[in-house]
Amino acid sequence: MAIISSVAARVISDSRGQSTVELTVTDDAGNLATASMPSGSSIGKYEAVMVDAEAAVNSINTVIAPGMLRVPLDSQANIDTRLQAFDPTPNREHIGVNSILGVSLAAARLMSQGMKIPLYHYIQSISGSPGFSLPTPMFNLINGGKHANNNLDFQEYMIMPTGLKTFHEKVEAGKKIFYALGSILHEVDSEVAIGYEGGYAPNLNTNEEGLGFLVQAIKAAGYVAGSDVVLGADIAASALPSTYSATVENYESLFENFPLYSLEDPFPEDDWEHWSELKKKLDTNTGANSRLLVGDDLFVGSQERLEKGMQQGAANAILIKINQAGTLTEILNCVNQARQLNCWHIVSHRSGETLDTFMSDLAIGTAAPFIKAGPPNDQAPERIVKYERIIEVEEELNVAAANKV
């Protein structure tokens, strides 16, 4: 059995030009695997703690690397138990989630290499997920809130090509709609800026107008809004300015006026009552669980908060961001719990990203119905690589299926 022969971390720049951690784990057979850490800008109050990148690199190289030396690469659970011991606090407030997570992810890659199976297959085999599946992308085409310097309060305006068949077709549609939207917005605002995630960041008259532009762009690109492609919005309510306050009725009217299918963080993380009230209204208006009500800052990937939220009927979907837990085992435990509670899980990037594509394999290996990784903007390689990884897997699975016949 292979053993860890080195762990070496360094500081790299993320897509926003901020410092983040990249590390490499090597085994005694000479195999190596790297992993790098994303970071958010609308950070939930209950999220795991991310420490300064330099401090994390220092902890990895001086504390974790010597502690993990010669540890056998025998199982994810054993590796992750050892990593958790470096900081047993639930929020990793001493050492930082960015000090331990990368080692867990790189070790997963090394173990999948050792087993000669793709990473998504390895994840599926240890996760208890019923099988693989390719997620439908939620493309964030318009950036607002804390992700842009424009006047929009809502953080993300998304399109979801739920009515199209293959992942490849979904990305093609996303690109066509993204570029159609660019032309439409240029007529409104000739100097339309680009936000943190690579989506457009226009100044508009109202927040709702952004959803209307998405519908126009879907039509302009030749698709049917409401059947081929539906809409999603992340309000990121915990990060809204105090001048903005939304009511249950405001959101009900968004669902009435637009082909809106998914709504994330409509209320702040402690406002359980309004979440439950909205969920009840939506179930009555549109049919039980026929829309996604997604907890991001509400749940922060915490099993305790997820359990409370599901008991209260506050939401029916959870966002899974890899850096909200310390290790892969904890991420998978949360996904499993969501599945047991009949809660959808959506694997998500962060606004600050790297070229790491672990999340794509995570989405496939846990059969996530959706993935949120930004716009399919060719100028945003840190987003594009996530989608390209899934296209690669789609081709791999097609070849395997063809060979079986």
Q: Tell me the window of 50-58, 157-165, 345-353, 388-396 that interacts with ligand PGA (CB under 6 A).
A: 345-353
Contacting residue, 80, 87, 197, 296, with Zn ion by CB under 5 A = 296
- Between 37 and 60, whose beta carbon lies closer to ligand PGA? 37
| Measured CA angle at 218 (ends 380, 237), to 5 deg | 65
Q: How far apart are CA 13 and CA 129, in angstroms?
A: 34
Q: How far apart are CA 305 and CA 238, in angstroms?
A: 16
* Annotated catalytic residue 321: yes
Task: Report DSSP letters for 85-98, one per residue.
Answer: TT--STT-TTT-HH
Question: What is the residue whose two structure tokens read 């030749």?
Answer: 222
| By the rule CB under 6 A, 236 interacts with ligand PGA | yes
Per-residue string for binding with Zn ion, 253-292, x by CB under 5 A? ----------------------------------------
Number of residues that bind ligand PGA (CB under 6 A): 11
Q: Please give the single-letter amino acid code of residue 314.
A: A
Q: How far apart are CA 215 and CA 212, in angstroms?
A: 5
CB atoms within 10 A of CB 58: 15
| By the rule CB under 6 A, 124 interacts with ligand PGA | no
Contacting residue, 14, 228, 234, 330, with Zn ion by CB under 5 A = 234
Residue nearest to Zn ion (CB): 296
Active-site annotation holder among 321, 330, 372, 386: 321
Which residues pair with residue 33 across a beta bridge? 25
Cβ 357 to ligand PGA shortest distance, Å = 17
* Annotated catalytic residue 219: no
Residue 21, helix vs strand vs coil? strand
- Between 73 and 148, whose beta carbon lies closer to ligand PGA? 148
Cβ 146 to ligand PGA shortest distance, Å = 7
| By the rule CB under 6 A, 351 interacts with ligand PGA | yes
Which residues pair with residue 206 across a beta bridge? none
Q: What is the CA radius of gyration of the chain?
A: 21
Residue 20, helix vs strand vs coil? strand
Cβ 289 to ligand PGA shortest distance, Å = 21
- Between 98 and 351, whose beta carbon lies closer to ligand PGA? 351
- β 4-13/19-27 pair status: antiparallel
Contacting residue, 348, 354, 357, 377, with ligand PGA by CB under 6 A = 348
| By the rule CB under 6 A, 42 interacts with ligand PGA | yes
Active-site annotation holder among 22, 47, 156, 197: 197
The b/e string for 176-213 (b: 16+ C-beta within 10 A; e otherwise) is bbbebbeebbeeeeeebebbbbbbbbbebeebeebbeb
| By the rule CB under 6 A, 382 interacts with ligand PGA | no
Residues recognised as catalytic: 197, 321
Interface residues with Zn ion (CB under 5 A)?
234, 296
Interface residues with ligand PGA (CB under 6 A)?
40-43, 155, 234, 236, 296, 348, 350-351
